[in-house]
C-alpha cells in the first residue's frame, strides 16, 4: 500500500492490465468494479497507442488529486507503455524522513507547499471568524456598558452613602469597576459548565460533512474534528476579562462628577 492507495490490487501478472480508480472518477465515467475500458495514451516519443484495462478496485479518498480523472496502473506496465524504463513521475517520501530534496531533476514539494490550498482557506476563514468574534464581543460589551450605566443611575443613594462614610471617589470607581469585571468571571464559569462538555463532545465525535463536499474539489475528510488549544482558551478568556474591565471603568468615571449630598437625597444627576 502506497500513500494509502490500495496498490495491492495492481497485479502485473499476465496480459491483463489491472487498474484502480477513485469513486469520483468511477462516478464521472460510469464505471464499476470488473469493467473493461479502453485507454489511449501518448508515449515519450509522441506515438499514440491504446489498450484495454480492467477496473480491479474502486477506492475512496478525500484527496481530489488522487481521484479526479486519474487512472492508477502498475508502475512497470506504465513504464513500458510510456517507453520510459526506470522512470517515475511521482516520488513520495514520508514526512518523518526529513528529506531535503537534493535529487537532481526532481523538484521536491514539502508539506508547506502541498497544503497551500488548505492553509489559505483556513486563513480566509480565520479572518471571517475574527470579524464575527469582534461583532459578538462588541454586542456583549455594549450590554455590560448599558448595565453599568443603569446600575450607577439606580444606585446613586448607595454611591452617595459610600462617599459620605469616608470612601474616596476613586475607591467607589474601583468598586464598580471590579463589580463589572466579575461579570466576565461569572460568564466564564457559566460558559465552562456547558461549554466544556459540548466542546469535548464535538472534539470526540466531530462534524460529518454533507455528501456534496466530494464535488468541491478540495481535500476534506468525511468527518472533521475541531481542535481547541490551551493557549486559545486562555487568551480568549483574558481578552474578555480585560475588555470587560475597561468597559466597566468607562461609565464608572461618572461617579467622580457626582455630589454626595444630592446622591443621598436621591436627586437625579
pLDDT tens-digit map of 185-232: 888 899 889 888 988 888 888 887 776 666 666 667 778 888 888 888
How would residue 268 be classed by pLDDT, with cut points 50, 70 and 90? Answer: low
Cell, residue 17: 492490465
Q: What CATH topology corresponds to 7-104?
A: Barwin-like endoglucanases (2.40.40)
pLDDT in tens, 30-88: 888 988 888 898 988 888 999 888 999 998 887 777 887 888 888 888 888 888 888 87
Spatial separation of the C-alpha atoms in residues 144 and 235, rounded to whole Å: 20
Contact indicator for 148, 178 with CB cutoff of 8 Å = no
Rounded to whole angstroms, the Cα distance separating 39 from 21 reads 13
The pLDDT of residue 1 is 47
Residue 147: all three cell numbers together: 448595565
Domain boundary assignment for the chain? 7-104, 116-264
Q: How far apart are CA 71 and CA 74, in angstroms?
A: 10
Using DSSP's 3-state secondary structure scheme, residue 105 falls into coil
Cα three-residue angle 61-65-66, rounded to 5 degrees: 45
Strongest mean pLDDT among 6-20, 31-45, 118-132: 31-45
Is the per-residue pLDDT at 102 higher than 80?
A: no
In this predicted structure, what is the pLDDT of residue 193? Answer: 92
Whether the CB-CB separation of 187 and 245 falls below 8 Å is answered with: no
Q: Are 156 and 259 in contact (CB under 8 A)?
A: no
Q: What are phi and psi of 107, to 5 degrees?
A: -90, 105
**Alpha helices per DSSP H over 107-155:** 111-114, 116-154
**pLDDT per residue over 144-198, tens digit each?**
788 777 877 777 778 778 778 888 888 888 888 888 888 888 888 998 898 889 8
Q: What is the pLDDT of residue 64?
A: 76
pLDDT higher than 70, residue 235? yes
Concatenate the DSSP letters of all residues of 151-214 into one string. Answer: HHHHTHHHHHHHHHTT--HHHHHHHHHHHHHHHHHHHHHHHHHHHHHHHHHHHHH-EEPPGGGG
> What is the predicted pLDDT for the residue at 90?
74
State the average pLDDT for the chain. 81
DSSP-derived 3-state class of residue 4: coil
Contact 266, 156 (CB under 8 A): yes
Mean pLDDT computed over 228-247: 83
Q: How far apart are CA 169 and CA 259, in angstroms?
A: 10
Amino acid at each position: 500500500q502506497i500513500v494509502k492507495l490500495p496498490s495491492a490490487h495492481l497485479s502485473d501478472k499476465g496480459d491483463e492490465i489491472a487498474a484502480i480508480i477513485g469513486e469520483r472518477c468511477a462516478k464521472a465515467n460510469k464505471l464499476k468494479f470488473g469493467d473493461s475500458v479502453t485507454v489511449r495514451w501518448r508515449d515519450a516519443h509522441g506515438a499514440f497507442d491504446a489498450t484495454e484495462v480492467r477496473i480491479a478496485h474502486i477506492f475512496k479518498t478525500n484527496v481530489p488529486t488522487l481521484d479526479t480523472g486519474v487512472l492508477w496502473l502498475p508502475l512497470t506496465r506504465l513504464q513500458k507503455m510510456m517507453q520510459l524504463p526506470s522512470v517515475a513521475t511521482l516520488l513520495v517520501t514520508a514526512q518523518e524522513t526529513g528529506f531535503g530534496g537534493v535529487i537532481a531533476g526532481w523538484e521536491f514539494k514539502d508539506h508547506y507547499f502541498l497544503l497551500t490550498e488548505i492553509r489559505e482557506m483556513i486563513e480566509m476563514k480565520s479572518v471571517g471568524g475574527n470579524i464575527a468574534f469582534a461583532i459578538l464581543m462588541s454586542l456583549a460589551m455594549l450590554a455590560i456598558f448599558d448595565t453599568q450605566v443603569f446600575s450607577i443611575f439606580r444606585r446613586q443613594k448607595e454611591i452617595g452613602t459610600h462617599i459620605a462614610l469616608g470612601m474616596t471617589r476613586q475607591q467607589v470607581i474601583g468598586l464598580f469597576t471590579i463589580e463589572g469585571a466579575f461579570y466576565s468571571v461569572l460568564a466564564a464559569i457559566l460558559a465552562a459548565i456547558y461549554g466544556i462538555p459540548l466542546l469535548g463532545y464535538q472534539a470526540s465525535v466531530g462534524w460529518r460533512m454533507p455528501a456534496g463536499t466530494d464535488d468541491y474539489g478540495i481535500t476534506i475528510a468525511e468527518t472533521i474534528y475541531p481542535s481547541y488549544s490551551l493557549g486559545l482558551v486562555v487568551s480568549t478568556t483574558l481578552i474578555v476579562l480585560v475588555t470587560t474591565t475597561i468597559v466597566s471603568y468607562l461609565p464608572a468615571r461618572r461617579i467622580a462628577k457626582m455630589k454626595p449630598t444630592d446622591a443621598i437625597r436621591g436627586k437625579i444627576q
